Amino acid sequence: MRIVKYVYIVLLAAMVVACARDKEPAEAAIKGAGQAIDQIRGEASRYAPDQLKQLEDSLKSAQDAFSKKDYKAALDAASTLSAKAQDVAKAAAAKKAELTKSWEDLNAGIPQMMDALKSRLDILSKAKKLPAGLDKDQLAALTSGYDEAAKQFQAAKDAAGAGDLNKAIEAGQAIKQKGMEMAAALGLKQQ
d(CA 87, CA 96): 14
Judged by CB under 8 A, which of 13, 131, 158, 163 binds another protein? Answer: 131
Write phi, then psi, for 140 (nearest 5 degrees): -65, -40
Contacts of residue 107, defined as CB under 8 A and 6 or more positions apart, other chains included, come to 157, 160, 172
Element (H, E) at 49: helix 49-67
Q: What is the DSSP letter of 127?
A: -
Span from 15-23, 29-37, 56-64, 120-128 in contact with another protein (CB under 8 A): 120-128
Binding flag, residue 156, another protein (CB under 8 A):
no
Q: How far is the CB of 173 from another protein (least distance, A)?
A: 13
Among 4, 128, 137, 161, binds another protein (CB under 8 A): 128
Residue 167 is a binding residue for another protein (CB under 8 A): no
Applying CB under 8 A, which of residues 112, 137, 162, 163 lies at the interface with another protein? 112
Least distance to another protein, CB of residue 170, Å: 18
List 40, 113, 168, 175, residue binding another protein (CB under 8 A): 113
One residue of 42, 49, 163, 187 binding another protein per CB under 8 A: 187
- With contacts defined by CB under 8 A, how many residues of the chain interact with another protein? 27
- Whether 153 and 175 have beta carbons less than 8 Å apart is answered as yes
**Furthest-apart CA atoms within the chain: distance in Å:** 114
Residues whose CB falls within 8 Å of the CB of residue 55, separated by 6 or more in sequence, listed in order: 37, 44, 81, 84, 85, 88
**188, 180 contact by CB (below 8 A):** no
Residue 123 contacts another protein per CB under 8 A: yes
Q: Is residue 137 within the footprint of another protein (CB under 8 A)?
A: no
Give how far Cα 185 sits from Cα of 127, 131, 145, 171, 172, Å: 17, 11, 12, 21, 20
Of 19, 93, 183, 185, the one binding another protein by CB under 8 A: 183
| Contacts of another protein in 9-48 (CB under 8 A) | none
Please give the residue ranges that form the binding site for another protein (CB under 8 A): 108-110, 112-113, 116-117, 119-120, 123-124, 126-132, 134, 179-180, 183, 187-191
